[in-house]
A and B are shown apart, each in its own frame.
Chain A
Amino acid sequence: MLGSYAQAHEQTPAYPRILPSHVEGVVKVQLRLLNRRKEINYYEIGLFDINFDEIDFTTKRKIIKIDYQETIDFDVYLRKSDLDRAVYICTASKILKSNKSRAVVSSIVCSKLGGEPL
């Protein structure tokens, strides 16, 4: 049943490892995004603290263009000094304008830094 439907947004791993980067004082996190939402082609990456306040980070593209059924691996780079407050890395679907009055669903899936809860 899991993952069998064709309108899904998925981000893994849930608890990513923090890896060294090629820049001193900067670490990186590797994540994977899978787009099975046919009407969505763009996702925005965000780094947040425990209260979902934004934290600065860098990546190749903060808004990822991704086709239907495509998987993209991406790296998020953040300052080592921000590690004590950085908690969530999320991808949020970006919805295009439409000509029909509707309540659209914006999906946000997050990964948590700092390892699995004990």
Chain B
Amino acid sequence: MSAVIHAARGGLGGRRLQAVIIGLVALAATAASTLALGMLVDSHSPFDHAFAAQHGAHVTAAVDTSVATSAQLAATTRLPGVTASAGPFATVSVTAKVSQPGIPGTRPYPLQIVGRPSAGGPVDQLTLDSGHWARGNGQIVLSRDVAGDLGSATITVGSQKLTVVGIANSVTNTAQAWVAPSEAALLGGSGRGQAQMLYRFANAGTSSAIAADIAAVRAALPHGALQDTASYLSVRQSEQSDIAPWVPFIIAFGVIALVISVFIVVNVVSGAVIAGTTRIGVLKSIGFTPAQVVASYVLLVAVPALVGCVAGAVCGNLLAIPLLKQNAQVYEVGVLGIPYWVDVAVPLAVLALTAAGAVPPALRAGRMSAVQAIATGRAPRPRHGYLAHRMLARLTSAPRAVTLGLAAPAARPARTLVTAAAIVFGAAAVTFGVGLAHSLDKAFAETSTASSLPVQVSAPPPAPPAGAPSSKGGGKVGPMGMTAAQQRTVISALAAQPGTRRYLPETDEDLSLPGLGDHVSVTAYGADPSWSGLALITGRWYSTSSNAPEVVVNTLFLTDTGTSVGSTYTVNSGGHRTTVRIVGEVFQPGNDVDIYMSPATLAAVDPGAGIQSYAVALQPGTNAQAYANALSAALGNSYSVETHSRGGTELVAVVTLIAMLTILIMIVAGLGVLNTVALQIRERAHDIGVFKAIGMTPRQTLTMIVCSVGLVGLVAGIVAVPAGVYLHHGVIPTMAHAANSGIPPSLLSVYTPWTIILLALSGLVIAVVGALGPAAWAARTRTAFALRAE
């Protein structure tokens, strides 16, 4: 055994370049695969971890206790399939008055408060972030989201002053705040009784299973008792969609890197074994058995591969840290990391792959007779490519160094094909990465008004008079509109300001709509809404002149309400209701439901809503910041003038990640070319010496070697472009779907003819850059040294 190890060690010393390439490729393959697989697994795990830890509720049900009795509710907990339950917990919906330090007056804040005796229980065990649970009347525990909004606020509901004593988190957001049951009774007053029931079911893995569970509960209660239900699957999908949009492209890059690495490993290993034929012959001549030869050769490959795999696993984990850290913090599930099985399985798989590439050529070499191997004198010359040399030699219009290079790939067609495949994947990654970056740039531009309306003017709302009604719309949050005087002032300033192109009066409201939650974002534009620059996926913008109220909504609205463009929908908020027709689907991905409507339509559901700001489009060539400064000076300190830039750091971060992954894959593909050229030079070192001896200059040598992969790179690049575009057209909709959205056609139309031509050259660039190093080395090599090469 020690002889085998010594032989392998000696072989490694003599083939440092191959060893380094094997190690680097194994590293890149392992890192990319570990990252991709780890991200894929962990994209589902944070919520699942938290849900399991908190015994989260599969279904949260709102029940009317004036219709269902306590006994009937208790009976539902004994239904077949119910494994655990909690409740009924009294629920009250109030509009609290919130006063925050440093902000004069109070502001209305809608709160759904649940009366619970404790944070624990068989279902929905709340995590207390800080403080303690409500121990009696006058105390309230806020949910993490609400606490983030309100900070250290004082909360008053009616005449009840509530002290915030703790901050808690429910994995399925079962309430915005919790109080003791006795306090809930006080807050509920004489209104109709509402309560919350929390259920866990034996069969709750799919939407249909949950629907069946809910149907069973509904059937067990009197008609109308079950008012509303929320499935944990909806929350799960919503929570995951923060990271989910990025997962498809990370996986795409990871798979590309893995496939390229497979090609390179196969090339490296078979090339290294072929190049070592003479050495194998010598080993056999001194007494090595075929098995020992095979073992020493597999070791020769396995050692650098093992080092690369281990280093790759470490790199993959390190790369995953920043991506997973945020999720871990959000869900308080400790440190999220790459699962152990991924850390073990991926390196083992890459190592097995490497060994699989090494064994067949090693077995072939093991079977070769010692005399045959030694007599070969160098790697056996292929019998391919003669015709190519003959044909290209007739091509007298091209320099001979070029035709010599162009004929070279035919000598080893299998290696050429594998190298071409690696370049195809590398160039496809470039095409995909460029398209992805352009699409994301467009996505950020088309989901924000910052590009078309870069300046926004607003005025602080007047303080509401003491004792005024807490909410006009029932669920309205945020500032009141500008006064008429303020609007006139802003309009005249905009008219007088050079550079103003047009402006769009804007109202932004958060409405609480049944079935859609408390924070449905409603935007009303007081002029042509298409000026906003927001992209439509289907349909058209609402018409302000139409008699029938029209709205444009995002995809999540359509999904959550089961509607489509052309449907009608009744907006019901705070006692006001109006039926609208959905005329367009706007591109607004994310977890928020967005509705765009005219001010007149908004007034029907929120009569108090007024213009809050003016979004300003500028004349071409106008500097937004200079314009904003001038407008601010004209309006004075009573008005706020802000500029908006689209994308910001998130876009930069994502595009940087895409660029890094693309460059990483280009480097890996370039390493594949480097390996091919290094093998080619090693095998043809003697021929190169002959070329030099008969007058080939270093420049001609360089040209010959670069051309030997240049044509392969060019063809591979041309093949790669449609592959990359196809991948792009598959991944972008997947990303959008993960972000709860469809896509506007513009997001796919990112490849211009010029872009395609340039991208088609990426294969050539990979090939040339990969070949340059070894080609330059060969060009510099002394003729006598090359001639002595075996």
Q: Do A and B bind each other?
A: no
Binding site for A on B (CB under 8 A): none
Binding site for B on A (CB under 8 A): none
